[in-house]
Amino acid sequence: MAKKKDSKKRRKIVFEAVARNCPFCKNKTSPDYKEAEVLAKYMSDRANLLGKDHTGLCSKHQRRISVAIKRARHLALLPFVPTI
């Protein structure tokens, strides 16, 4: 009989722990494209959108943040690329 192959242990990617308390849910507000300072907190230094695991937002507000950032970019309130 053939021996079973040893199963490889999968590595688990560990991210920094972020509190899962959505600030928009706490304050009962919604992200707005006109508030560029608030939206800038949810972008990286390379002007990329940060994911849910880094921001600590709920799914609903994460989707709304991404739409608001895209709208603010088209109105030139936020950059598409990082400034030097």
Can you give 2-14 as a three-state secondary structure string? CCCCCCCCCCCCC
Length of the chain as a residue count: 84
34-62: pLDDT as tens digits: 999 999 999 999 999 999 889 999 999 99
CA gyration radius for the chain? Answer: 19
Domains of the chain: 23-74 (4.10.640.10)
65-81: pLDDT as tens digits: 999 999 999 999 999 99
